[in-house]
Structure 1
Amino acid sequence: MTATSLDDGAAVAGVADGDEAVLEVDGLVKHFSTGGDFLGRHRSTVHAVDGVSFSIRRGETLGLVGESGCGKSTVSRLVLGLMKPTRGSIRFHGQEITNLRPRRLRPVRRDMRLVFQDPYASLNPRMTVGDIVGEPFRIHGRGREVAREVPRLLELVGLRPEHAGRFPHQFSGGQRQRIGIARALALDPSLLVLDEPVSALDVSVQAQVINLLQDLQQEFGFAVLFIAHDLALVRHISARVAVMYLGTVVEEGTGEEIYERPTHPYTQALLSAVPIDHPDQRGRGRLLLAGDPPSPLDPPSGCRFRTRCWKAQHTCADEEPMLIERPADPHRSACHFAALDPGDGAR
């Protein structure tokens, strides 16, 4: 495989309209009960995810972005069946998997794999690299393939076959994440869930790992759910982007639409905080949000962003905005007053 620069990444993962939907999420909700005394009184409810919907087609990358605590990692665990949703539907290759029992979910999990955020904590220090990469084969009854597949997978991610006999502590952070990627690719999945896969790595190493993932996706055509808080990074790898705020998706569109023509005030504020490399553009105004994000224990009525939004009016408190296309732009935005111009009062 040949390395590509991050500047070319936005073109990766484009798919034709006729390609199948690998993953379809519809109205996904996850609430957690917390607190209370031993009699169960005075319990509170955490609204972690509230009505999230999206789909990912074969060979496509969807970037799910938002600040810490917005619910994006909870979405990934729901998709992988690591927890059950309160409400909503998850379809994988057209099959409803929302409430499958563990025994029936096991074969589905062969086809959807997770790459963890922390390459240091996600690898068993007592296992060799060969055992780590070969473990999925043994778990799913394909142990005879280990001797052949482990060297191939290591070479695929830029490591050498002889590395199979070493332990994780003998590798750098970037090499460990390559090992995690090799393990995720072991059973030829059609969906990779990448939960902040490079946030623990140095910037130069981040580029190498992202380029590797792009090359592998071009070669094998798997779909990717890429979860991150770094908007600049998501721009280079995701064909489509969904922006989350306090458990809901507030804007969704192609990378170009989100980054060049954002219409939701929250997205505009996030993008205004991204550092600018070009000196001619450094004088732009920055949108400053008032206050802290509300607690998911008691989200605001109507629009959840209204308590920090400079456009908020009475309508925003009384009526929750739908995630729909707006007249100003064809991509979807959940704002009563969505517009390309951020307006006054936010700078």
Structure 2
Amino acid sequence: MNSFKTIMQIKNELAKKIVGQEEMIDALLIGLLTNGHILLEGVPGLAKTTTVNSLAKVINVDFKRVQFTPDLLPSDIIGAQIYDMKTGEFKIKKGPIFTNLLLADEINRAPAKVQSALLEVMQERQVTIAENSFKIDKPFLVLATQNPIEQEGAYTLPEAQLDRFMFKIVVSYNTKEQEYEIAKMASSNEKINLEKIITKEELFKLKDEILNVHIDKELEEYIVDIICATRDPKSYGLEELSEQIEFGASPRATIDMFKAVKAQAYLRGNDYVSPIDIALLVKNILRHRIILSYEAQAQDINVDDVIDKIVEKINIP
């Protein structure tokens, strides 16, 4: 595929500033190419914010960052209707949500009323301020981060919002060799300037090409089986999981999987989806959508382990 070269140019440009973290970068690209929001979970200092900022520069789109805190208000994100003393009229002041890439930093630090302010824009790509609705410019992507360690002063994200994220990426530490490269890069005086690789118009062309990536009917049915097995494990011979899973994945998981595996195949330079593409993404798509039972949580059962059992049981076509 001709555009595979463009994808590699984007990755190579990001590599000037980001060491390692290939899974996170691929996830961001997939989200960008399929209109899927991304939740990044990891301890501080793993280049989550830097990666998002760098991606915005390389693909030449607008980027805004909002630090989520307990005292944040919905109007701080979406904007508000304000009274202009000079004209005696009400005017709309748009918030930082009017951008292409919105980084919601430490999203679990804000209360439910702020979280709910994101629901409309994440699903409908529009914002309602007072009685006025505004469409958000394309592309639009919410990239949220959360720290898994500190629970004090943190809020659990509502299930309705979690379901609107295509992926939940667990960002891990770099290798020893990568850590060395990061330290060398940070301690040098060399200024790194990232080049713009593509325009918005070229990005839209890439999105159109992904729609043409082929996926066999058998693989589509395989995806549906995996999702349905999270809801009704007994029907798939997974009786033990029926006690461990409280709620399975929603239809959004199936829709996101259908879109994401095409983009994953595209990033790998293929014009068709293979079982490998599904295997690479299944945990990222399901880990935030499966709710474990109280008994499973008490036994420290991991969601990723539950997904592994489902994938092992269902035959690959």
- Normalised by the length of structure 1, the TM-score is 0.36
Q: If each structure's helix is expressed as a fraction of its own residues, which one has the higher value? A: 2
- TM-score (ref. length: structure 2): 0.38
Greater strand share, structure number: 1
